[in-house]
Amino acid sequence: MDHIDPNTPPSGTGCVECLATDDGWWFHLRRCAQCGHVGCCDSSPSQHASRHAADASHPVVQSFEPGEDWLWDYTSEQLLEGPVLAPPRHHPLDQPVPGPAGRVPADWESQLN
């Protein structure tokens, strides 16, 4: 299937770009189905998952939240059926939502998009 490589593991446990800054935080996480890039969702302040999809021309993501396994195509704006991606399928269960621990501002709900 185009834009999906089920053998590529996720890049890590949190948003790549948020973790590269001193104060980035996210609401929910999305995993690029093609290269494994983990980014933050469109409700998060920085929307790194959709920015990666556009910048890298990798339009398909899977939720990286526990208990969720849907695939989303940013190009067609539709849910997709697809293969099971390489584990881990979600961020660690002890990682808070929003995350990461220690960075989420008290008024985080008012900062969502």
Residues in contact with Zn ion by CB under 5 A are 15, 17-18, 32, 34-35, 37, 40, 46, 48, 56, 58
* Residue 74 exposed, middle or buried by CB count within 10 Å (0-12, 13-18, 19+): middle
CB of 109 to Zn ion, least distance (A): 17
CB of 16 to Zn ion, least distance (A): 7
C-beta of 18 vs 71, nearer to Zn ion: 18
At residue 15, φ and ψ (nearest 5 deg) are -60, 125
Residues 32 and 30: their CA atoms lie apart, in Å, by 7
- CA dihedral defined by 27, 9, 32, 20, rounded to 10 degrees? 50
CB of 35 to Zn ion, least distance (A): 3
DSSP letter for 99, please: B
CB of 69 to Zn ion, least distance (A): 18
C-beta of 43 vs 79, nearer to Zn ion: 43
C-beta of 17 vs 65, nearer to Zn ion: 17
